[in-house]
Structure 1
């Protein structure tokens, strides 16, 4: 399949899904969300793929999150949230090991995509941030995805202050498991991807089946809450913008 906003390549059983909007800091517009969902669903049915690496094009950005050139209509915020939910579920449904290679700036919804992976690694100079609070948007699913990784005190600080972490701080907080200096980043993720692909597919699948039971309904509940909360937030933003322009 031909994609416009992502690329999907295969090498020796390892698929690499790259967000391909470097001029827009790999921001996630509607087309990218839908293409990534389609790609993940296709990988689910591809027995030749033994591991998946998710990363961003270039060296500066994993993904800056929601594309601000596509403002969310408050009346369609529920639909917008449902599209994000479909993307999350398509990645989490994969039975192969998934690896997020955070090569640079990972913010908001872009960071949430990175959090979907089983294994998360970062460049030492990466910047990891929940910056939605600066835009008047709640971080619902992002918090739910990060709960198994970091303490609530760290999550609440990130969500409410919008402060960024570099790769080393994110590793110390448990958000990523490995950090690479910039010159070692690409060789490091290639080697790790190959290692993950070499493991028993049955054992991997059984591990992932169990991890899904640990997650329970937490993400589904967060998505459901987000489908109620985001229309309220976007309506408030629209009202504030209208007041400013009056």
Structure 2
């Protein structure tokens, strides 16, 4: 299975399990992830959720082999692809239970955005995080939304336009990571933190998370609408397809 669900006491541990591809996801993976998030949210025995990835990556973002085939004239397919991310992001935000990301390696593109949706993020010094979509000719639109409240305008602009990835120490300093631990301790610390959060009064946690969700919901809706328009214009130019195919040819050598 490309997405796994395990339990550690009151904690549901959801793991992206495609390590040979740095857990880069496909639409099928995201659909399973949405289902597991909803399952964890509905389970009265689950008090908190940990998100992580197998191997040396948290999530490298979208599998470019899938998006390189997008037909620029098929607006319905392009919109459906963006709507899939909207549903995934809302599946995390809609959880009334605490969410901790165990960022065990690279978190890039939409995988980086996914990590930022967690309430807390535990990583190690070797982690690399960022928004490199522009390097593949893809505008970073929902990425701007995900980064804005953490980084502010100046840093969000820098990340969106340069595509650079930062290591763990800088990520912690910028607020992208909540805490740094040793390389082999990330998942254990995330689970420990999740267990601690799961012991808090659940009503107060749910109401607090509900208010946080209210503050982000409209901005996400606006970002998704903007992403549909901007991505349609980008793909119509052919630039993303050219850049992604160049990347895939280079990787195949």
TM-score category of the 2 structures, normalised to the smaller one: over 0.9
Task: Report if the CA contact (8 A) 1:136-1:237 is conserved.
Answer: no
Does 1:64 pair with 2:64? no
- The residue aligned with 1:233 is 234
Any residues of structure 2 matched to 1:161-172 within 5 Å, and which? 161-172=162-173
- The residue aligned with 2:71 is 73
- The residue aligned with 1:10 is 7
- The residue aligned with 1:86 is 87
Any residues of structure 2 matched to 1:1-246 within 5 Å, and which? 4-58=1-55, 60-70=56-66, 71=68, 72-74=70-72, 75=74, 76-237=77-238, 241=242
TM-score normalised per structure 2: 0.90
Task: Report if the CA contact (8 A) 2:105-2:126 is conserved.
Answer: yes
Q: How far does residue 238 in structure 1 lie from its aligned partner after superposition?
A: 5.9
Distance change (3 Å), C-alpha of 1:110 and 1:175: same
Distance change (3 Å), C-alpha of 1:160 and 1:42: same
Distance change (3 Å), C-alpha of 1:186 and 1:216: closer
Cα distance in structure 2, aligned partners of 1:6 and 1:150: 30
Q: What residue ranges of structure 2 are gaps of 5+ in the alignment? A: 247-253
CA RMSD of aligned residues (A): 1.9
Cα distance in structure 1, aligned partners of 2:34 and 2:240: 32
Whose helix proportion is higher, 1 or 2?
A: 2
Please give the per-residue CA displacement for 1:194-220, whole angstroms capped at 9, x wherever unaligned: 111111111110110111232240011
Please give the per-residue CA displacement for 1:171-209, whole angstroms capped at 9, x wherever unaligned: 111112111121332332221121111111111101101
Cα distance in structure 2, aligned partners of 1:63 and 1:126: 11
Cα distance in structure 2, aligned partners of 1:217 and 1:127: 29
Cα distance in structure 1, aligned partners of 2:71 and 2:7: 37
Alignment length (residue pairs): 240
Please give the per-residue CA displacement for 1:101-136, whole angstroms capped at 9, x wherever unaligned: 111011001111111111112111100010100011
Q: What residue ranges of structure 1 are gaps of 5+ in the alignment? A: none
Cα distance in structure 1, aligned partners of 2:190 and 2:88: 23
SS at structure 2 position matched to 1:18: strand
Distance change (3 Å), C-alpha of 1:91 and 1:241: same
